Amino acid sequence: MKSKVYVVRHPLVQHKLTLMRKKTTSVTEFRELVGEVAMLMAYEVTKDLPLTKMKIQTPMEKMMSPVLQGEKMVLVPILRAGMGLLDGMLRIFPSARVAHIGIYRDHKTLEPVEYYFKASKTLRGRDLILLDPMLATGNSAIAATDRLKGAHPRSIRFMCLVSAPEGVRAFQKAHPDIPIYTAAIDRKLNAHGYILPGLGDAGDRIFGTI
């Protein structure tokens, strides 16, 4: 069974993604856009979070009203580009916890190397959203998901902006139970593991290290 892939086709997401792709978009604009797209996508990524009912008092009367059920969710940016999505997500989920995972791609082998992992001890039973703007080979997302599964969360969702078909297939094969939310599935990977047409190196564009 393949994991589900949800392509977020909302016109605002698509418009902003086009601006992000443009070579002439500045670091300042790119940063703003990545935050805005994260906020817009948050709505879709969390559409099936379970609800429970809470007894509240309105100015008029008492009622049972829906609230998110369970422990605080945990946002997991893959360093460093995943940090670009974090601020936007925190605007929507201000009380979310954050776990950082540092994985870099060895430029020769394209294999993932974990160099940092810091999370609270309480991932068990929580809903996690793994963040990385680019799903390229899929190696980093697969390694991060392997790691997170070991912490026994209630759920994991993977959120990215641009995916390569190769990465989608690899992730689906490794983690058929984890849904992928992306704004686009592009044409292909090049020989260096970059997505075509893509948007270049997301980390460089967010942090201005071009």
Report the C-alpha dihedral over residues 108, 112, 117, 123, rounded to 10 degrees.
170
147 classed as catalytic = no
109 classed as catalytic = yes
3-state secondary structure of 129: strand
Report the C-alpha dihedral over residues 118, 123, 128, 130, rounded to 10 degrees.
20
132 classed as catalytic = no
Span interacting with ligand URA, options 31-39, 43-51, 111-119, 190-198, rule CB under 6 A = 190-198
Backbone angles phi, psi at 163, to 5 degrees: -120, 150
Mask for 70-109, x = binds ligand URA (CB under 6 A) = -----------x----------------------------
Nearer to ligand URA, 93 or 104 (CB): 104
24 classed as catalytic = no
- Please count the residues of this chain forming the interface with ligand URA, following the rule CB under 6 A: 10
- Out of 41, 101, 195, 206, the residue judged to bind ligand URA by CB under 6 A: 195
| Class of residue 67 by CB neighbours under 10 A (exposed 0-12, middle 13-18, buried 19+) | exposed
Which residues in the 117-136 window bind ligand URA by CB under 6 A? 134, 136
Nearest residue to 158 (alpha-carbon basis) of 6, 50, 16: 6
- Give the span between the Cα atoms of 149 and 123, in whole angstroms: 10
Enumerate the active-site residues.
105, 109, 201, 204
Binding site residues, ligand URA, CB under 6 A: 81, 134, 136, 193-195, 198, 201-203
